[in-house]
Amino acid sequence: AQKVTQAQTEISVVEKEDVTLDCVYETRDTTYYLFWYKQPPSGELVFLIRRNSFDEQNEISGRYSWNFQKSTSSFNFTITASQVVDSAVYFCALSETNTGNQFYFGTGTSLTVIP
Amino acid sequence: DTAVSQTPKYLVTQMGNDKSIKCEQNLGHDTMYWYKQDSKKFLKIMFSYNNKELIINETVPNRFSPKSPDKAHLNLHINSLELGDSAVYFCASSQPRGRYGLETQYFGPGTRLLVL
């Protein structure tokens, strides 16, 4: 079973629209990390944010915000007033305390912002 | 200053050849990884090293052999390259496991391998 599900394969929005990228995770651990990474068309993987399982406070960084809800096992990412430079593939990932020695990456959401 | 670097960035080669990809990190991390990203962008862990010791060896053909001469370097050697090896290979590094799980991984720029 997929530990991290990003159900939205591709999203297109018009510039200045807000967009939310969904991430649903599955774990039996009570302590874990959740991450978001950005992969722009140039190909590199850029770390955006990390949250631990005890910190459900929403995070805002400029136009980016993250909504972590343990009750629904979700860690959603919202871009406000999207820009063309936001066009990228975005990956959500999970790292557990007790299980394995690896990140569990979602399959990614490809976001296209149309000017 | 590049935190995680890989060379080469592009690699085009013929089937059957042997090639190596080098990775270096200057973050002082103990743990390094190799990932393969296929054409559908799926990221698959291949290997994980902690302080030069192999931790993860996922189901990868034994034509792939990682080597870690020291904890700042993790190279990937591929023997007898096949068409299906064409992909982007990413190196990453992180601090060791933390209180909540594996720490943040920082990725290199990727090596785009094309086998003809």
Q: Please indicate whether, in this complex, the C-beta atoms of B41 and A96 are within 8 angstroms of each other.
A: no
Q: What is the phi/psi pair of residue A62, to 5°?
A: 65, -120
Helix H or strand E segment including B5: strand B4-7
pLDDT tens track for B50-80: 887 887 777 789 999 999 999 899 999 999 9
Cβ contacts of B45 on chain A, cutoff 8 Å:
102-103
**Helix, strand or coil, per DSSP, at residue A74:** strand
Tell me how far apart the alpha carbons of residues B104 and B4 are, in angstroms, rounded to a whole number.
Answer: 13
pLDDT tens track for A56-109: 888 899 999 999 999 999 999 999 999 999 999 999 999 987 766 678 999 999
A105 closest CB neighbour out of B43, B48, B108? B43
